[in-house]
Homo-oligomer: A and B are copies of this chain.
Amino acid sequence: MPLAKIDTFDNSDKQLADIAKALSHPARINILRILNERNSCITGEIVDLIPLSQSTVSQHLKELKRVNLIKGEIEGPRTCYCLNEDVVEKTKSVFTKLFSTFKCC
């Protein structure tokens, strides 16, 4: 299999871009804020707070889970989501590091 061009980019830049992608939709930012305020939420509560359908919200949750910014725990018929604090902090430091490399920052 030939080397895809995207693979030639620096690994940490790929990681950074990937997490930026997870943050690139207002609904997902909104979900992070909600989970921060309430500590934890079941899917239904989030759906009630976001102007999108249940299935769409579920997909956004999946994307946030993909990059581990949130964790979901199954509790009977519900799923309880909360921030993954370790990864949130790590993400903060990744962005901080990026901006600290810029001379102007």
Chain A residues at the B interface, C-beta cutoff of 8 Å: 5-6, 8-10, 13-14, 16-18, 20-21, 23-30, 32-33, 36, 51-52, 83, 85, 88-89, 91-92, 95-96, 98-99, 101-105
Contacts and interface: CB of A to CB of B under 8 A. Distances in A.
DSSP majority for the A interface?
A: helix
Contacts of A9: 26-27, 30, 51
A40 to B, nearest CB: 12
Given A36-B102, A88-B102, A103-B36, A29 B13 contact: yes
Contact of A51 (B8, B16, B91, B92): B8
Given A13-B26, A20-B20, A89-B105, 11 more contacts: A9-B26, A13-B29, A17-B29, A20-B23, A29-B98, A33-B101, A83-B104, A85-B103, A88-B104, A92-B105, A95-B99
